[in-house]
Amino acid sequence: MPDLSHYGEEAVVARLTTLLEAGPGILTGPGDDCAVVEGGARGEAELLKTDCLVCNVHFLPEDAPGKVGWKAIARTLSDFAAMGGWPRHLLVTLAVPPSCEMRWAEQLYRGMNKCARAYDCSIVGGETSSVPAGAPVMISVAGTGTARRSQVILRSGGRPGDLLFVTGRLGGSLRGSHLTFTPRLLEANWLVRNFTLHAMMDLSDGLARDLPRLAAASGCGVLLEKDSLPRSRGVTIEQALCDGEDYELLFAVSARTAKRLVPEWRGQFPDLPLSLIGSLTADQQPGLSGGWDHFGG
């Protein structure tokens, strides 16, 4: 039987999720940045998300534990932003070898708490576990959030002719920004309150991998203007496409909406670039290649 590397991440996730049966109250199941279920308040939906960091995959042993903690929380918050929601409560699972220094663990939790409090959510519990000597440290964060049902943005709502925008700049995350990035909660909240967005997601695995996911979910192709990609200083177009861990927003809007959006964005967020990078098309075109694949397929 082939191992996971034979299939690649997309196929592994697809095969596993087909084994799941959805119960009542589920509005959006696997396949988006968060799951969406019926909320307690009228007109509200509840968002559910879990994410993890693994040493030597998402961070290095020598990285400052406070920054690792920030990233652990910020990754999860970025997914709430991508759905047009806001986080509320978080649970943390920490799996470390018994030889882990207490000071390292404390600084990790200080970094996590700093990020959570910066966005008005709370870490309310979790779990700790030992792992065998030599096994990598793993930090898992699960969270709940809320959004108005009318403002939940999925990956699947894009339409041919929609214009594609990204926030911020892409590429070069390994220089350190992958540990210190800002989850775009404020920006996403402003977007969904003021404009009609057809589709949105955050960029974690690189534009070259994530953009085809949004297009496929929407049943569209992509016309990408590579020369228009907003790049970090010293970054090539290829790196902007493939480095990953940018945690910027990628979203699709109508051309009519874009005319009003661009000048209002500049007035609201003058220090954060918003770049038009292409459009969705009716024709399914060959996908981009590159970006991060956890199973290397």
* Residue scoring higher pLDDT (78 or 283): 78
pLDDT band at 286; cut points 50, 70, 90: low
Tokens of 52: 């993890």
What is the pLDDT, as a whole number, of residue 287? 64
CATH number of the domain where residue 245 is located: 3.90.650.10
Residues 270 and 177 in one domain: yes
Name the CA dihedral angle for 107, 113, 116, 118, rounded to a multiple of 10 degrees.
-90
Looking at mean pLDDT, say which of 30-44, 228-242, 274-288 comes out highest: 228-242
Residues 258 and 165 in one domain: yes
Q: Is 110 helix (H, G, I), strand (E, B) or coil?
A: helix
Number of Cβ within a 10 Å radius of residue 123: 18
* Residue scoring higher pLDDT (204 or 42): 204
Determine the number of helices (DSSP H) and then strands (DSSP E) in the chain: 9, 11
List Cβ<8 Å contacts ≥24 apart for 113-120: 113/69, 114/66, 114/69, 114/70, 115/69, 115/70, 115/72, 115/73, 115/74, 115/77, 116/73, 116/87, 116/90, 119/77, 119/86, 119/87, 119/183, 119/185, 120/86
Domain-terminating residue out of 131, 151, 171: 151
Parallel, antiparallel or unpaired: strands 86-96 and 122-130: parallel
Tally of structural domains, the chain: 2
- Is the pLDDT assigned to residue 290 strictly greater than 80? no
pLDDT averaged over the chain?
93
Q: From the centroid of its chain, how far is CA 59?
A: 17
Residues 137 and 217 in one domain: no
Alpha-helical (H) ranges within the chain are 4-7, 9-17, 65-82, 102-118, 177-180, 185-194, 207-217, 237-242, 255-268
Q: What percent of the chain has pLDDT over 90?
A: 81
- Is the pLDDT assigned to residue 254 strictly greater than 70? yes
Q: Distance (Å, rounded) from C-alpha 16 to C-alpha 115?
A: 32
Domain-terminating residue out of 136, 151, 166: 151
Residues 142 and 176 in one domain: no
pLDDT band at 61; cut points 50, 70, 90: very high
Has residue 296 been placed in a domain? no
Cβ-contact 61, 98 below 8 angstroms: no
Cβ-contact 163, 253 below 8 angstroms: yes
Name the CA dihedral angle for 231, 233, 237, 242, rounded to a multiple of 10 degrees.
-80
Mean per-residue pLDDT, 277-288: 82
Q: Distance (Å, rounded) from C-alpha 184 to C-alpha 187?
A: 5
22-31, 79-88, 193-202: least confident range: 22-31
Residues 146 and 209 in one domain: no
Domain that holds residue 40: 26-151
Q: Distance (Å, rounded) from C-alpha 29 to C-alpha 154?
A: 11
Alpha carbons within 13 A on the beta-carbon side of 118: 17
* Residue scoring higher pLDDT (284 or 243): 243
Domain-terminating residue out of 151, 173, 199: 151
Cβ-contact 262, 201 below 8 angstroms: no
CATH number of the domain where residue 86 is located: 3.30.1330.10
- Is the pLDDT assigned to residue 291 strictly greater than 70? no
Residues 276 and 222 in one domain: yes
pLDDT band at 25; cut points 50, 70, 90: confident
- Is the pLDDT assigned to residue 1 strictly greater than 90? no
Has residue 293 been placed in a domain? no
pLDDT band at 14; cut points 50, 70, 90: confident
Q: Distance (Å, rounded) from C-alpha 281 to C-alpha 219?
A: 9
Residues 224 and 135 in one domain: no
Mean per-residue pLDDT, 180-185: 98
Residues 96 and 141 in one domain: yes
Residues 147 and 169 in one domain: no
